[in-house]
Amino acid sequence: MAVPTQTKKLIDTTFGTYKFGFRTHVASAFKSPKGLNEKVVRKLSERKEEPKWMLDFRLRALEIFEQKPLPQWGADLSKIDFENLHYYIMPPEKGMKNWGDVNPEIAKAFSLLGIPQAEKKFLAATSAQFESEVVYSSLHEALSKQGVIFDSTDNALKNHPEFFKEYFGKIIPSNDNKFAALNSAVWSGGTFIYVPKGVEVALPLQAYFRMNSDNMGQFERTLIIADEGSKVHYIEGCTAPVSSANSLHAAVVEIIVKKNARVQYTTLQDWAHNIYNLVTKRAYAYENAEMFWLDCNIGSHVTMKYPAIYLMGRGARGEVQSLAFSGKNQHQDAGAKIIHAAPDTSSIINSKSISKSGGRTTYRGLLKVAKGAHNIKAKINCDALLLDSDSRSDTYPTNIIEEDDVNIAHEATVSKIGEEQMFYLRSRGLSEQEAGSMIVNGFADPIIKHLPMEYAVELNRLIEMEMTGSVG
Nearer to other proteins, 100 or 429 (CB): 429
State the Cα–Cα distance between residues 387 and 432, nearest whole angstrom.
Answer: 12
Nearer to other proteins, 365 or 436 (CB): 436
Least distance in angstroms from the C-beta of 62 to other proteins: 46
Nearer to other proteins, 146 or 421 (CB): 421
Nearer to other proteins, 53 or 424 (CB): 424
408: three-class secondary structure by DSSP: strand
Nearer to other proteins, 84 or 431 (CB): 431
Residue type, position 267, single letter = T
Task: Using only the alpha carbons of the chain, give its radius of gyration.
Answer: 21
The DSSP string of 184-199 is: HHH----EEEEE-TT-
89-90/30-31 β-pairing: antiparallel
Nearer to other proteins, 164 or 443 (CB): 443
- Non-local (6+) Cβ contacts of 4 within 8 A are 114, 117
Q: How far separated are the first and last CA of the chain, in Å rounded?
A: 19
CB 3 within 8 A of CB 12: no
State the Cα–Cα distance between residues 89 and 27, nearest whole angstrom.
Answer: 10
Least distance in angstroms from the C-beta of 429 to other proteins: 4
Least distance in angstroms from the C-beta of 466 to other proteins: 17
Least distance in angstroms from the C-beta of 324 to other proteins: 16
Neighbours of 213 (CB within 10 A): 23
Beta strands in 306-405 (DSSP E): 308-311, 317-326, 331-340, 346-355, 360-369, 376-386, 392-401
DSSP state of 458: H
Least distance in angstroms from the C-beta of 224 to other proteins: 31
Least distance in angstroms from the C-beta of 12 to other proteins: 20
Least distance in angstroms from the C-beta of 16 to other proteins: 24
Least distance in angstroms from the C-beta of 435 to other proteins: 8
State the Cα–Cα distance between residues 253 and 351, nearest whole angstrom.
Answer: 20
The DSSP string of 6-47 is: HHHHHHHHHH-SSTT--------SEEPPSS--HHHHHHHHHH
Q: Give the burial class of 244: count Cβ atoms within 10 A of its Cβ; 0-12 exposed, 13-18 middle, 19 or more buried.
A: exposed
Nearer to other proteins, 6 or 415 (CB): 415
Residues in contact with other proteins by CB under 8 A are 418-421, 423-432, 434-435, 438-439, 441-446
Least distance in angstroms from the C-beta of 334 to other proteins: 20
Nearer to other proteins, 141 or 419 (CB): 419
Least distance in angstroms from the C-beta of 57 to other proteins: 46
Nearer to other proteins, 51 or 446 (CB): 446
191-195/149-152 β-pairing: antiparallel
Angle at CA of residue 267, ends 134 and 147, nearest 5°: 55
- Non-local (6+) Cβ contacts of 151 within 8 A are 127, 137, 159, 191, 192
CB 370 within 8 A of CB 340: yes
Nearer to other proteins, 39 or 449 (CB): 449
